Amino acid sequence: MAEINFKNLISTGAHFGHVTRKWHPEYAPYILMEKNGIHIINLDETIQKLNKALAFTSEMAQKNGEFLFVGTKKQARDIIQQEADRCGMFYVVERWLGGTLTNFSTIKKSIKRLQQLEKEGSKIYEDLTKKEVQMLNRERIKLADQHRGIKDMKRLPDVIVVVDANYEITAVREARLLEIPVIGIVDTNTNPNSVDYPIPANDDSIRTIQLIIAAVADEIRAAADKESVREEVIAKEDKEQTEEQADVAEVVVDAVAVEEELNDPVVEDEPAETGSANDESTTEQSAEVPVEENNSGKEDEEETEKLEEAEVK
């Protein structure tokens, strides 16, 4: 965002006020001199007040505050709509409807009616005569013009930005009544105390309006970009943390599995070995039994032979 300096403001004619007879006494601190029947605005004061307003804008934008730009005078309409669209905020460039802020509940009903009329295939148009359809179309066009820049506004704005606080006095009064902060470009014919953040400058110069309103929009966009970057960083950190936790969990699972494997008792085939030893012992015993039987039979034969020999003798 380019910084607004003394040279920028001079080149746009921001220092030219109204004729002296139209001045507001409360504006005296911001008047540098009188020249050819016209008050000259002190641009040092303009820069100081502008920087204060921009700092507040940045602070509110970082808190996701919603801004409503108001500029219904001819010189401001196109600029207000363009810059509000550029920073994604709401705007009013047609006639300010009394109660837009103080009677917002009624405005929301009117916006809901507009959305119904704009909805394709709406049942509202069923079984109507051609004349009735034309009447609804006229109503739709009228509501669209009235709520062009605020039909998506779901709640009251956090900040109002106005071009020519004197011209938009109704909007300023409603905002002050609801304690909504107001940033406003104020000329020498306006009470600067009517807004919270006055920016003393020529509010009839298209180039001055463009310079100041663009600076406000730039601050909102810059804050939004910072928020976007911050969200990306947080998302990246969350992703890395999740992956790290997953890795740690995997390591823990593996460690538990290894520990369980080490703690499992070893199954030995001792019963089978014991049985084999018994089998061998039994086999040896069975093999020895016939030998004993054979020896016993041999002894009997020898005794029989001895008896026979004795009888012969």
Does 53 map to a domain? yes
- What confidence score (pLDDT) does residue 236 get? 58
Does 255 map to a domain? no
- Please tell me whether the overall predicted TM-score, pTM, comes out greater than 0.95 for this model: no
Beta strands in 52-113 (DSSP E): 67-70, 90-92
- What confidence score (pLDDT) does residue 156 get? 96
Does 160 map to a domain? yes
What mean pLDDT value characterizes the chain? 83
For residue 288, count CB atoms less than 10 angstroms from its CB and return exposed for 0-12, middle for 13-18, buried for 19 or more.
Answer: exposed
Does 84 map to a domain? yes
Looking at per-residue pLDDT, the higher value among 206 and 245 belongs to 206
**Where residue 30 sits, what CATH number does that domain have?**
3.40.50.10490
Domain enclosing residue 154, as ranges? 6-230
Residue owning tokens 């109503």: 139
8-11 contacts at long range (C-beta below 8 A, 24 or more positions apart): 8/211, 9/43, 9/46, 9/47, 9/201, 9/208, 9/211, 10/43, 11/207
Does 142 map to a domain? yes
As given in the structure block, the two tokens for residue 226 are: 């910072």
User: What distance in Å separates the CA atoms of residue 232 and residue 169, rounded to the nearest whole number?
Assistant: 42
Which pLDDT band holds residue 286 (cuts at 50, 70, 90)?
A: very low
Which pLDDT band holds residue 49 (cuts at 50, 70, 90)?
A: very high
Does 48 map to a domain? yes
Does 152 map to a domain? yes
User: What distance in Å separates the CA atoms of residue 59 and residue 57, rounded to the nearest whole number?
Assistant: 5
How many other C-beta atoms can be found within 10 angstroms of the C-beta atom of residue 128? 12
- What confidence score (pLDDT) does residue 205 get? 95
134 pLDDT higher than 50 = yes
What percent of the chain has a predicted confidence (pLDDT) above 90? Answer: 55
For residue 166, count CB atoms less than 10 angstroms from its CB and return exposed for 0-12, middle for 13-18, buried for 19 or more.
Answer: middle
**Per-residue pLDDT reduced to its tens digit, 186-233:** 999 999 999 999 999 999 999 999 999 999 999 999 988 865 555 555
82 pLDDT higher than 70 = yes
As given in the structure block, the two tokens for residue 4 are: 């607004």
- What confidence score (pLDDT) does residue 192 get? 95
Q: Phi/psi of residue 21, each to 5°?
A: -70, -15
Does 52 map to a domain? yes
Average pLDDT on 23-40 reads 95
As for how many domains the chain has, the answer is 1
